[in-house]
Amino acid sequence: MASQNPIAPSPAAGLYGGSVFANVVQAPEDPILGVTVAYNKDPSPVKVNLGVGAYRTEEGKPLVLNVVRRAEQLLVNDPSRVKEYLPITGLADFNKLSAKLIFGADSPAIQENRVATVQCLSGTGSLRVGGEFLARHYHERTIYIPQPTWGNHPKVFTLAGLSVKTYRYYDPTTRGLNFEGLLADLSAAPPGAIVLLHACAHNPTGVDPTLDQWEQIRLLMRSKGLLPFFDSAYQGFASGNLDADAQSVRMFVADGGECLTAQSYAKNMGLYGERVGALSIVCKSADVATRVESQLKLVIRPMYSNPPIHGASIVATILKDRELYHEWTIELKAMADRIINMRQQLFDALRARGTPGDWSHIIKQIGMFTFTGLNTEQVTFMTKEYHIYMTSDGRISMAGLSSKTVPHLTDAIHAAVTRMK
Amino acid sequence: MAVSVNVSRFEGVTMAPPDPILGVSEAFRADTNDLKLNLGVGAYRTEELQPYVLNVVKKAEKLMLERGENKEYLPIEGLAAFNKVTAELLFGADNSVIQEGRVATIQGLSGTGSLRLAAAFIHRYFPDAKALISSPTWGNHKNIFNDARVPWSEYRYYDPRTVGLDFDGMVADIKAAPDGSFVLLHGCAHNPTGIDPTPEQWEKIADVIQEKNHIPFFDVAYQGFASGSLDADAYSVRLFVRRGFELLVAQSYSKNLGLYAERIGAINVVCSSSDAGTRVKSQLKRLARPMYSNPPVHGARIVANVVGDPNLFNEWKQEMELMAGRIKNVRQRLYENLSEKDKSGKDWSFVLKQIGMFSYTGLHKAQSDHMTDKWHIYMTKDGRISLAGLSLSKCEYLADAIIDSFHNVD
pLDDT for the residue numbered A7: 38
* Structure confidence by residue, pLDDT tens digits, A254-310: 999 999 999 999 999 999 999 999 999 999 999 999 999 999 999 999 999 999 999
Per the CB < 8 Å rule, is B283 touching A306? no
Chain A CB contacts of B269 under 8 Å are 21
**Rounded Cα gap, residues B181 and B78, in angstroms:** 28
B positions 346-375 inside 8 Å of A (CB): none
pLDDT for the residue numbered A312: 98
**Over pLDDT 70: what percentage of chain B?**
99
The mean pLDDT of B27-49, rounded to a whole number, is 93
B1, B6, B7, B8: best mutation site toward chain A, by most A Cβ within 10 Å?
A: B8
Alpha helices in A226-369 (DSSP H): 247-254, 286-304, 309-320, 322-353, 361-364
Statement: residue B1 has pLDDT above 60 = no
| Least confident piece of the model among A216-220, A236-240, B151-155 | A236-240
Q: Are B184 and B134 in contact (CB under 8 A)?
A: yes
Q: Which helix (H) or strand (E) segment is B387 a member of?
A: none
Give me the residue from B260, B276, B298 closest to A24, CB to CB. Answer: B276
In terms of Cα–Cα distance, which of A51, A76, A225, A293 is closest to A151?
Answer: A51
Chain B CB contacts of A299 under 8 Å are 147
**Rounded Cα gap, residues B111 and B249, in angstroms:** 10
The mean pLDDT of B25-40, rounded to a whole number, is 92
Q: Is A136 part of the contact surface with chain B (CB cutoff 8 Å)?
A: no
**Rounded Cα gap, residues B172 and B163, in angstroms:** 19
Statement: residue A5 has pLDDT above 80 = no
pLDDT for the residue numbered B5: 53
Q: Phi-psi region for residue A42, left (φ > 0), alpha (ψ -120 to 50) or beta?
A: beta
Statement: residue A357 has pLDDT above 60 = yes
Statement: residue A347 has pLDDT above 80 = yes
Q: Are A324 and A98 in contact (CB under 8 A)?
A: no
pLDDT for the residue numbered B53: 97
Chain A nearest CA to B165, separation (Å): 27
Give me the residue from A1, A256, A274 closest to B298, CB to CB. Answer: A274
* Structure confidence by residue, pLDDT tens digits, B211-246: 999 999 999 999 999 999 999 999 999 999 999 999
Band of residue A37 on the pLDDT scale cut at 50, 70, 90: confident
Alpha helices in A146-178 (DSSP H): 153-160
Provide the β-strand partners of residue A282: A115, A259
Statement: residue A2 has pLDDT above 70 = no
The mean pLDDT of B135-149, rounded to a whole number, is 96
Q: Is A70 part of the contact surface with chain B (CB cutoff 8 Å)?
A: no
Provide the β-strand partners of residue A114: none
Neighbours of B310 (CB within 10 A): 8
Per the CB < 8 Å rule, is A30 touching B289? yes
Chain B nearest CA to A209, separation (Å): 20
Q: Are strands A277-282 and A259-264 parallel, antiparallel or unpaired?
A: antiparallel
* Structure confidence by residue, pLDDT tens digits, B196-212: 999 999 999 999 999 99
Q: Give the active site residue among A47, A208, A214, A231.
A: A231
Cis peptide before A204 (omega within 30 of 0): yes
pLDDT for the residue numbered A9: 40
Q: Is B262 part of the contact surface with chain A (CB cutoff 8 Å)?
A: yes
**Over pLDDT 90: what percentage of chain B?**
92
Statement: residue B162 has pLDDT above 70 = yes
Q: For chain A, what is the radius of gyration of the CA atoms?
A: 22
Chain A nearest CA to B404, separation (Å): 32
Where do the domains of chain A lie? 30-64+337-419, 85-320
Q: Do domains A30-64+337-419 and A85-320 have the same CATH topology?
A: no
CATH number of A85-320: 3.40.640.10
Q: Are A253 and A218 in contact (CB under 8 A)?
A: no
Statement: residue A30 has pLDDT above 90 = no
* SS3 at position B17: coil
pLDDT for the residue numbered A17: 52
A3, A15, A24, A331: best mutation site toward chain B, by most B Cβ within 10 Å?
A: A24
Statement: residue A3 has pLDDT above 50 = no
* SS3 at position A62: strand
B positions 157-216 inside 8 Å of A (CB): 179-180, 210, 213-215
Statement: residue B89 has pLDDT above 90 = yes
**DSSP label of B136:** S
Phi, psi angles (nearest 5°) of residue A168: -60, 145
Q: Phi-psi region for residue B15, left (φ > 0), alpha (ψ -120 to 50) or beta?
A: beta
**DSSP label of A196:** E
Integer angstrom CA distances of residue A311 from A266, A273, B26: 10, 9, 24
In terms of Cα–Cα distance, which of B256, B128, B272, B140 is closest to B188?
Answer: B256
Q: Are strands A388-389 and A48-49 parallel, antiparallel or unpaired?
A: parallel
The mean pLDDT of A33-46, rounded to a whole number, is 91
**Over pLDDT 90: what percentage of chain A?**
90
| Cα B27-B32-B33 angle, rounded to 5 deg | 105
Statement: residue A12 has pLDDT above 90 = no
* Structure confidence by residue, pLDDT tens digits, B261-295: 999 999 999 999 999 999 999 999 999 999 999 99
Statement: residue B41 has pLDDT above 80 = no
Statement: residue B2 has pLDDT above 90 = no
Give me the residue from B109, B126, B294 closest to A304, CB to CB. Answer: B109
Q: Which helix (H) or strand (E) segment is B35 a member of?
A: none
Band of residue A23 on the pLDDT scale cut at 50, 70, 90: confident
Q: Tell me the count of A-B CB pairs closer than 8 A.
A: 289
CATH number of A30-64+337-419: 3.90.1150.10
Burial profile A78-113: b = 16 or more Cβ within 10 angstroms, e = fewer: eeeeebbbbbbbbbeebbbbbbbbbbbeebebbeee
In terms of Cα–Cα distance, which of B70, B383, B109 is closest to A88?
Answer: B109
Q: Give the active site residue among A267, A328, A359, A411.
A: A267
The mean pLDDT of A161-169, rounded to a whole number, is 98
Q: Is B255 part of the contact surface with chain A (CB cutoff 8 Å)?
A: no
Give me the residue from A30, A295, A305 closest to B112, CB to CB. Answer: A305
Q: Are A125 and A278 in contact (CB under 8 A)?
A: no
* Structure confidence by residue, pLDDT tens digits, A56-107: 999 989 999 999 999 999 999 999 999 999 999 999 999 999 999 999 999 9
* Structure confidence by residue, pLDDT tens digits, B328-375: 999 999 999 999 999 999 999 999 999 999 999 999 999 999 999 999
B49, B293, B301: best mutation site toward chain A, by most A Cβ within 10 Å?
A: B293
Q: Are B380 and B192 in contact (CB under 8 A)?
A: yes
Cis peptide before A148 (omega within 30 of 0): yes
Band of residue A36 on the pLDDT scale cut at 50, 70, 90: confident
